Amino acid sequence: MKPDLKYYNSFIFDLDGTIYRGNSIIPNADKTINTLKQSGKRVVFISNKTTGSVKDYFDFLTGEGLEIELSEIINSTVVLSKYLNRNHPGKKFFAIGEKTFIDEITSAGLTYSDDPEKIDILLVTLDRTLNYEKLEIAARALEKGASFFAANIDDTCPVDNGEVLDAGATISALEKRTHRKLEKNFGKPSKYMMDAVKERLGADFSKTLLIGDRLETDIAMGNTFGLHTALVSTGVKNFPNGNEHIKPTYFLNSVYDLVEGIVS
């Protein structure tokens, strides 16, 4: 069974694995988004990926033919930055994360440090330059009492030829190494991310559909906050791993299933 587009007035799309994968757009994702927007539907894109800025994602997507606005994209760096700016201005942070992420957190008013004695907050996200030295700085900072926050908790990230380790695996290693538990997650499926979506779409989600490729983040967030959900098969492989109870409203091959038959 496919969603009835006449019923829904707004759509929340995951990005990586749903609209694109690696460096390639999902086939006909551009037609899907443009058709929805041309028919007057509201659209928001949400991502746990922090290796690029919102502007980077906007430039990539518009370059692939999606007729969207910059304000329609939210990633977990934006959500986390706003929280840190409001609640921890001037604090020193260390990040297991890449340069774009660190630069954006610095721009939010915090100061980067790799001295475990001075680190107030540890931030964890996807880091393709992760090494043992970074893990030990993070672990020692946690042992010294630093707060333990994450921009996302995904175990893997989909890429062109499979998946790579993401923040969830790093968080698990640090929890075992330090016997500290992650305190806050600012990406999907958190309330922080949902609050950011509400700011864009409004509080009424009764006719909103959330589409994503991952059970424990995308579909779980939709279920938690009372949205209808659709799971696509273009991203990560969803192994049981205790997630059998997380059920989407719909199963789709790809986002194009939403409009196939409507567009040529």
Q: Where are the domains of the chain?
A: 10-75+188-258, 77-185
Model pLDDT, residue 122: 98
What number is the average pLDDT over the span 157-184?
90
Model pLDDT, residue 261: 67
CA atoms within 13 A on the CB side of 63: 10
Assigned fold of 77-185: Rossmann fold (3.40.50)
Model pLDDT, residue 235: 87
User: Does position 193 have pLDDT exceeding 80, yes or no?
Assistant: yes
User: Does position 264 have pLDDT exceeding 60, yes or no?
Assistant: no
CA dihedral of residues 144, 133, 81, 220 (deg, nearest 10):
-90
Q: How many residues does the chain have?
A: 264
Q: Across all residues in the chain, what is the average pLDDT?
A: 93
pLDDT tens-digit profile of 137-162?
999 999 999 999 999 998 888 777 77
Model pLDDT, residue 263: 57
pLDDT tens-digit profile of 92-108?
999 999 999 999 999 99
Q: Do domains 10-75+188-258 and 77-185 have the same CATH topology?
A: yes
Assigned fold of 10-75+188-258: Rossmann fold (3.40.50)
**Exposed, middle or buried by CB within 10 Å (0-12, 13-18, 19+), for 5?**
middle
In contact, 139 and 174? CB cutoff 8 Å: yes
Q: How confident is the model at residue 246 (pLDDT cuts 50, 70, 90)?
A: confident
Model pLDDT, residue 158: 77
User: Does position 243 have pLDDT exceeding 80, yes or no?
Assistant: no
Q: Which contiguous run of DSSP H or E holds residue 105?
A: helix 99-107
What number is the average pLDDT over the span 188-210?
92
In contact, 231 and 248? CB cutoff 8 Å: yes
In contact, 178 and 141? CB cutoff 8 Å: no
In contact, 50 and 101? CB cutoff 8 Å: yes
pLDDT tens-digit profile of 56-80?
999 999 999 999 999 999 999 999 9
